[in-house]
Chain A
Amino acid sequence: MPRQTLDREIHHLQDEVLLLGSMVEQAMLNAIDALKRRDTAAAKRVYNDDELINEKRYAIENRVLILFATQQPIAHDLRLLAAIMEVITELERMGDYAKGIAKITLKIGDDETPIPIREISRMGDLAVGMLHRALSAFIAEDVNMAHRIPQEDDEIDELYNQVYRKNVAAMIANPEIIDHSNLIMWVVHNIERMADRVTNICERTIFIATGELIEIDDSDDEWDDDEDED
């Protein structure tokens, strides 16, 4: 009897996770776009809309808890629901990164100091693309895809290093822009962290399909131990 209810509810929850993911993707793209155009109004919107992401995350969490309590899922279903709990946390955190970028845009205001926007846009597109496909793999429980996606952040790391070098050079040349450069470093850091969190979603995908919790090695994060709360 409850089997069908559980199936239907799980499908619904998967849809909700995708919608939450879409909101996060859009928030990140909008935040970067607002930064690119120095559009404080748009940044303010992204900043405020983070509340919607948080609400949706808690709504999903609630439903999962109700399912745990009423349906006593086992095996695959249990893993899936547990993974959903994990994934929505990751998504909410990514939403916070977008919010952080919006906050930086508000801080920068109409300061005309150049921003390496080409690199930032590219990083954002790559990270959001990774998230998009990671969620596809999560829903399809595609283990191969989940293994492949984390490898893609090489270009993001490369761009991160480029921006870092440019910033350092600019700060040396003109110490007056240290504050500004620092903010830019936070922007690229947020994007880079977002890509790292995509890896966590991929790990959960593998967990649902195989029942194994493994750590995908993304080798190049020297500062991976930071628990960046912003």
Chain B
Amino acid sequence: MHRRIRWRIALPYIGLLLLTLLVVTVGTIQYIRERETELRETQYLNLAQRIATEALVFYGTVGESASLAQIAEHNAEILGIAVTFLDSQGRLLASSLPLDEQPEAPSQLSVVHQARAEGQGTDISANQMLAAASIQEPDGQPVGIVLLQVPLIDVQINLQPIRSLAVVVFLIASLAVLVLALIVWDRTLKPIETLTIATEQMGSGNFKNLNFPENPQELSELSQALQEMAQHLGEQIEALSSERATLSAVLNQMTDGVIIANDEGRVELLNPAAERLFQMDEKSGLGRSVVEVLRYHQLVDLWRTAKSGQRESTMLEIGPRHMFLQVIGIPLKTSLPGSTMILFQDLTQLRRLETVRRDFISNVSHELRTPLASLKALAETLQEGALEDPPAARRFILRMETEIDNLTQLVNELLELSRIESGKVPVSFHRIQPCDLLRPAYERMTLQVERAGLELHLDCQQELPAVFADPDRITQVLINLVHNAIKFTPPGGKITLSAYRDGEQIVFYVKDTGVGIARKDLNRIFERFYKADQARTGGGTGLGLSIARHMIESHGGYIWVESDEEIGSTFYFTLPIA
């Protein structure tokens, strides 16, 4: 391509130069020819004058014709031309030519007219040149005319050698011109080519290590200007891309969703948070209509309001996932005219926590109210006369004591839970064998289990590696789990306490053959106050599993349950190997 540019520029110049050379050569040849002819004309006119002077003395003499013929022949012989003498009227007097070649009616010739009028004259015809001069007395009286006929070959020089020479000179000059032109153009075009390559690289975004020509002067100034421009552009682009990187980092990492839609309602920007909210990846979301991305008509309405130039903010719950969103529509009047930005703040989690807190308070109140109400009833019954009946009164007092125990347990567990949750429970970790954790729980629960008509098994492998745990707390958790198992296992069932190794941790489990837990409740039984079977309000505070979970998590383990309805449940928890 650069080669082509070179030839495009070079060819017209070379052509022009060659044309000039050609014109000059042809012109010169023409000039030489004319100049030469003129010179000859003058020469022959001078000759004619000289012959005229020679012949003057013979005019008017007796042997005029013979004398003139003699002079004519003499000169013709010497000079190789034809010489003819005419009288003043143009009539032929004598000639060196044979009779049949002598000019007929010489007085009609234009040269003769010229000679008679002006004293001399020339005329070139197809094959000869005529030169005539008037023969005059010293006082100017014309007596005759001398007429010379020169063959053209003598007048016009031979141009052939000149032409050959011109062709040779022309060829040499052309060659020289060509070579010189190429050298000059190479030197001129090379820097331009370098410059072209440099600017092309700039165009494709490369602003470093560009090669700029330093010569010639004019180009070096242009190069310098371009170099500075490249530097500025490079810096600006770098600044812009770093700014862009910062902005996109903010957009990508922020937890709020951002969508920007253009005038036609097509999505132009969609950050990852928005992708997650609307379950639409950037690739499929970009360029789609706002309706397709947002999907919810309330959001589309908000977008339309913002699009009409009015900032709009709202809070709403949408969709089957019950997302609770704070949405703000902002018209981007100045920065991106016609575009609209929509911000989404996902408050679902926050609202869920709020609900949990509200439920917690209502649960606590409810749990407190039940024993309090029965205490109140028992006290009233006593007041209304049961005191008079000591055996009944004693029974009532015993029931009151039970209620107070329940209340105390509830309050204690609440306190315990809140202390664990706020990390205020001192935990003293020891290296301890898993069996040494299982055995105390087994020993303490055996009696209770038997009383409930169940079997309790301890299945413990001595070779298990030690764990890192607070023995009192973990035993408490195990006792809690066995307690639960007793509550939900019908008589005749079996409860197993055991542990096994799984990678870097020991998994403890309490397995029962009880009623199991419904699938929908599985995820929720570790929540505070959650009771799978709402009918069994009598059985416990609903805090036990919640406390167990917090305890295990503070040991760096986790707790879960597997259960089949009517077959039984197994509660697992892990502790890290010491």
Contacts and interface: CB of A to CB of B under 8 A. Distances in A.
A18 interface: yes
Contacts of B321: 125, 129
Contact of A19 (B297, B322, B520): B297
A25 B323 CA distance: 13
Contacts of B322: 29, 125
B318 A132 contact: no
A126 B320 contact: yes
A65 B2 CA distance: 62
Contacts of B520: 118
A18 B320 contact: no
Nearest to A56: B297
Contact of A23 (B289, B291, B297): B297
A18 B319 contact: no
A150 interface: no
B291 A18 contact: yes
B177 interface: no
Contacts of B300: 19, 22
Interface in B262-303: 284, 289, 291-292, 295-298, 300
Contact of B295 (A18, A125, A140): A18
A15 interface: yes
Contacts of A140: 284
Dominant SS among interface residues on chain A: helix
Contacts of A18: 291-292, 295
B297 A29 contact: no
Contacts of B295: 18, 21-22, 132, 135-136
Contacts, number: 48
Given A118-B520, A126-B320, A26 B289 contact: no
Contacts of A128: 319-320
- Residue among B295, B298, B520 with most chain A CB within 10 A: B295
Contacts of A125: 320-322
Interface in B35-52: none
A23 B299 CA distance: 11
A94 to B, nearest CB: 13
Nearest to B288: A139
A124 interface: yes
A11 interface: yes
A15 B289 CA distance: 8
A14 interface: yes
A132 B319 contact: yes
B382 to A, nearest CB: 33
A126 B520 CA distance: 15
Interface in B375-412: none
Nearest to B291: A15
A127 B85 CA distance: 139
Interface string A118-152: 10000011111100100110011000000000000
B292 A22 contact: no
A139 B284 CA distance: 12
Nearest to B300: A19
B297 A26 contact: yes
A18 B296 CA distance: 8
Contact of A26 (B284, B291, B292, B318): B318
Given A19-B300, A23-B297, A14 B292 contact: yes
- Residue among B295, B296, B319, B320 with most chain A CB within 10 A: B320
B297 A15 contact: no
B320 A129 contact: yes
A11 B320 CA distance: 25
Contacts of A19: 291, 297, 300
Nearest to A30: B317
A211 B318 CA distance: 34
Interface in B308-347: 318-322
Nearest to B293: A18
Contacts of B284: 140
Contacts of B319: 25, 29, 128-129, 132
Nearest to B280: A136
A29 B292 CA distance: 20
B517 to A, nearest CB: 15
Interface in B511-539: 520
A87 to B, nearest CB: 15
Contact of B298 (A14, A26, A118): A26
A3 B451 CA distance: 84
A124 B320 contact: yes
Interface in A1-41: 11, 14-15, 18-19, 21-23, 25-26, 29
Nearest to A128: B320
A29 B319 CA distance: 8
A126 B292 CA distance: 21
Contacts of B297: 19, 22-23, 26
B320 A15 contact: no
Contacts of A15: 289, 291-292
Contacts of A22: 295-298, 300
Nearest to A139: B292
Given A19-B300, A22-B296, A23-B297, A29 B291 contact: no
18 contacts: A15-B289, A15-B291, A18-B291, A22-B296, A22-B297, A22-B298, A22-B300, A23-B297, A25-B320, A26-B297, A29-B322, A118-B520, A125-B321, A126-B320, A127-B320, A128-B319, A132-B320, A135-B295
Given A29-B319, A125-B320, A132-B295, 10 more contacts: A15-B292, A18-B292, A19-B291, A22-B296, A23-B297, A25-B320, A26-B297, A126-B320, A132-B319, A139-B292
Q: Lowest 8 A-B CB distances belong to which pairs? A: A15-B291, A128-B320, A129-B320, A125-B320, A22-B297, A19-B297, A22-B296, A18-B291
